Amino acid sequence: FLPHLVASLEQVEQTYIMVKPDGVQRGLVGEIISRFERKGFKLTGLKLFQCHKELAEEHYKDLKTKSFYPTLIDYITSGPVVCMVWEGVGVVASARKLIGSTNPLQAEPGTIRGDLAVQTGRNVVHGSDSPENGKRETGRFLLLKEKKGWDLSVESGTGDLSSLAALWFKEGELCEWTPAQAPWLME
């Protein structure tokens, strides 16, 4: 462990990246993982998972009133997804750039959606839209809870842990590690 190479904990964000069922069915899992790997972010969680309706509804609860909501829930639960946690300074906004616009026809070439998809309803990948949602969707706090002495009330901001309900990962599923390439990515 090289503390001088590691950004302070408050600066490090987590984002929940998910290869949606169309990405899995189309064999794009490796391609999508590669893009985050090559960029230099750190993978701290990864699994193939069949999402159930309740979780899909909770994940997309902000879109409940949209006309496409029922088909969105059907889409996300239609087959296995690949759930990932990527970690790093600025990872949330950077991952959204790597992913590209929601509508793949408007997404820039070079982005995942710009290169690999044509329709909003089949846009192959999800990425958290804010550091707060990154925490909520990844369940980052579960890992921190395992570390003795971590004050969860600091992590939650309010002391209310219910706001940190983990959506996609369970206790013990995330890994804390230092990649061998760390000193070659961060000065």
Q: What is the closest distance, in whole angstroms, from the C-beta atom of residue 166 to ligand IDP in the complex?
A: 19
| Catalytic residue list contains 126 | yes
Residue closer to Mg ion (CB basis): 115 or 129: 129
User: Which among ligand IDP, Mg ion, none contacts residue 70 (Cβ within 5 to 8 A by kind)?
Assistant: none
Q: Which of 4, 52, 59, 126 is catalytic?
A: 126
Task: Annotate each residue in 114-143 with x if it binds ligand IDP (CB under 6 A) or - if it does not, as one string.
Answer: ------xx-x--x--x--------------
96 is in an annotated binding site: yes
Residue closer to ligand IDP (CB basis): 25 or 120: 120
Under rule CB under 5 A, which residues in 116-145 are in contact with Mg ion?
129
Q: What amino acid is encoded at 73 in this protein? A: I
Under rule CB under 6 A, which residues in 37-66 are in contact with ligand IDP?
63
Q: What is the closest distance, in whole angstroms, from the C-beta atom of residue 148 to ligand IDP in the complex?
A: 36
26 is in an annotated binding site: no
**86 vs 21: CA distance, rounded Å:** 19
102 is in an annotated binding site: yes
Active-site residues: which are they?
A: 126
Which residues are at the interface with Mg ion (CB under 5 A)?
Answer: 129
